[in-house]
Structure 1
């Protein structure tokens, strides 16, 4: 993807600004939990077992979800909770199969850590016996779940929010949010288009930071002929990053790229403002440097002029507008695209159950991609899809169009990407051009 992919859609505005990787711009709600240690139990009073009635029919189909209910990624978990609940409500208005069986989701907390995610997934697979699990938020957590649990167990896994390009190397690991590869390329083009030929990059030391920074550097140097003079990681959760900023300031870079989380960038923005760096170089970032908490916890003017690339939703599409309306009615707040990804993950899982011949990992794996493929009839919600399937259609006869945009999972388990350019002016986020991949 190059700069020619920028779509000048000035007439469109993003409904519900997309927000960063750590902090939520939605009104938060408490999440029920049965404790820590990778547990957390069922959220919102949902069942955590798949039971049968006396006739032997299923009283519910239970799948698993590993989410970030505590820890640094918890605001994402809050968004996912809302998207998940709206999806379950829509699905259960129709029911799954001829018996119109309800869907239940057993939710476990990954505590925003890889080990927490593995423990949560092990509980869902070994104790709850789920054939499909949704998870998780952090790219490293999703990869750890795949490598340590889902792959060996043969369980279908759909990540709701992970964007690292590293997930593409694991075709069985499906996801609703697009790969960060296109985002990294777009970010490099944005910096280059602004006239910068030398940059300094710092990235959070995990799969998310590594994957996105690698794509950015490769594009900026190999494709655009620029120089990445500084390209170093930083650890999560530090109280100061002054050493990193001092090293970046010692270079000739006219642009600094921050591939990090909201909490970490808040510290960097404050320290950069104290040293006057924000007036000496131009700042750039990705989706994780958009958050109300950053604005609230940094001084006015500390980020003005900053630009970046974020995931977005096709706000002009009817099904996304319907999702926004339902979300605002339920929560008195506007959704972000991350809530939409969670909604779509649950809906795709339910469609796979409806289309499969049996409730097993093997059967679900056979159809889960097909329900999103463009060869089928476009359907915009679970009810429309069920109508086709119950009229004799198969998984390949439907093409689910997600509220987050066309899902269309490819051979690597990746959906197409829809992005938007953002900037900071008067200490507020503004959203501009759209980008497709």
Structure 2
């Protein structure tokens, strides 16, 4: 979905009150707990990569060989986007276990993980290693729209490698149809925020956004969809010690409402500086400002009433509830929608491998979109989808319905999506409604 129409969501009908299940799930809430154990940035396989189609390797230890189909993943295991990356790894690990319990073709799936450090150059270096040295034909990556775009333009574009981003919502990705993504475009967020702020009776807005593709594109889309006054509209850099000048200027603008399109560490700093300065304005935010770390590092009452629009999974669907159950059993906490996106990236990749005639980028390009098309038989698990393919079905015979929702990539490489509206109540996130993408 692209931001080509202000009227795409009518202000009187955009909000759909969520059920108790949706409120409990808080699917879009991004935790920044750093207690993830394990090897989040360590390759999961022990075999050598090799180039081209030689990434199909044979593990020769013990009785007989097992074919291993290795793909790559660029994730943000460190840096300002690591909250996403940590949860991605958990979703990835659950999906990989589900795939390898069943198998892929005559073997198993392996995933080599490299860290982007939450920066475009780090992402490019990680992707170059995976594509040029390890020879992976399929690349999951990355977190951050600017990181995903840098990887595509510097490493993937002009090759047969499939790139599927797990956590990028920037609008400009839609201009690169070869760059697929599992999370929905941020244009739906921007329209929803414009509608919500207007519904709340505000006429002017002060906007600050992180100075990268993600922030710029969502801010531009918001301005395009906002009918009132833009009293302040400026970017800020990541990882600054203070944002006092930003919040001071927002306060001086006289805006009715303040909108933040930034990341959790930056937003927590801003909230503390607003609170200590005595600034009091209705607050709104895009998905990336919400998280446990923000709550833990800001004063009680400093954000009460804030509304945030976040990507969400279809929380009442049986396959999502099963995913939640497995995630909680394994990690003793609820997943976020970002974990679900990473899970579906792995399942989508495995199905593309199963359906392809050979393990090459060119062959995977032919199957990666087809295994989620609505023309096929709807299935909600890798096992059921793999069975159709193993029994002689083609990629168009399968319509995998992800735990994050229907996928069905459009001509821009964008999936369908769901959004949830969160409100900060009692210094916690409470779901108050849903928006269908």
**Could you say which TM-score interval applies, normalised by the shorter chain?**
over 0.9
**1:382-434 CA-partner distances (Å, limit 9, x unpaired):** 11011111222111111000001111111111111100111112211111110
Q: Equivalents in 2 of 1:6, 1:424: separation in Å?
A: 17
TM-superposed CA distance for 1:28, in Å, is 2.7
Residue in structure 2 matched with residue 171 of structure 1 by the alignment = 177
- The answer to whether the 8 A contact 1:14-1:315 is kept is no
TM-score (norm 1): 0.92
Out of 194, 198, 202, the position equivalent to 2:200 is 194
TM-superposed CA distance for 1:288, in Å, is 1.3
Out of 15, 25, 29, the position equivalent to 2:36 is 29
Q: Equivalents in 2 of 1:364, 1:93: separation in Å?
A: 22
Out of 238, 241, 245, the position equivalent to 2:240 is 238
Residue in structure 1 matched with residue 271 of structure 2 by the alignment = 269
Deviates more, 1:394-403 or 1:56-65: 56-65
Out of 107, 113, 122, the position equivalent to 1:107 is 113
Call closer, same or farther: CA 1:415–1:422 in 2, change over 3 Å: same
1:66-105 alignment runs, 5 A limit: 66-97=74-105, 99=106, 101-105=107-111
Asked if 1:117 is matched to 2:123, the reply is yes
Out of 226, 229, 245, the position equivalent to 1:227 is 229
Q: Equivalents in 2 of 1:58, 1:357: separation in Å?
A: 18
- The answer to whether the 8 A contact 1:47-1:104 is kept is no
Q: Equivalents in 1 of 2:140, 2:116: separation in Å?
A: 12
- The answer to whether the 8 A contact 1:164-1:179 is kept is yes
Out of 149, 153, 158, the position equivalent to 1:147 is 153
Residue 69 of structure 1 aligns to a residue in which SS?
coil
- The answer to whether the 8 A contact 1:15-1:324 is kept is no
Residue in structure 1 matched with residue 17 of structure 2 by the alignment = 8
> CA RMSD, aligned part only?
1.9
Residue in structure 1 matched with residue 223 of structure 2 by the alignment = 217
Residue 263 of structure 1 aligns to a residue in which SS?
helix
**1:2-32 CA-partner distances (Å, limit 9, x unpaired):** 23232233454245323556x436x731353
**1:179-226 CA-partner distances (Å, limit 9, x unpaired):** 001011001100010001111100000111011111111100xxxx21
1:245-394 alignment runs, 5 A limit: 245-278=247-280, 281-394=281-394
**1:13-64 CA-partner distances (Å, limit 9, x unpaired):** 245323556x436x7313537xxxxxx5515x6656342368x986200000
**1:248-304 CA-partner distances (Å, limit 9, x unpaired):** 1111211000111110011110110111112xx211001112111111111111111
Q: Equivalents in 2 of 1:194, 1:297: separation in Å?
A: 27
The alignment of Structure 1 onto Structure 2 pairs a total of residues equal to 420
Residue in structure 2 matched with residue 208 of structure 1 by the alignment = 214
Deviation beyond 4 Å, 4+ runs, structure 1 = 45-48
TM-score (norm 2): 0.92
Call closer, same or farther: CA 1:19–1:31 in 2, change over 3 Å: farther
TM-superposed CA distance for 1:140, in Å, is 0.6
**1:355-386 CA-partner distances (Å, limit 9, x unpaired):** 01010001000111011111111011111011
Deviates more, 1:9-18 or 1:263-272: 9-18
Q: Equivalents in 2 of 1:386, 1:32: separation in Å?
A: 28
Asked if 1:42 is matched to 2:43, the reply is yes
Residue 370 of structure 1 aligns to a residue in which SS?
coil
Q: Equivalents in 2 of 1:378, 1:388: separation in Å?
A: 11
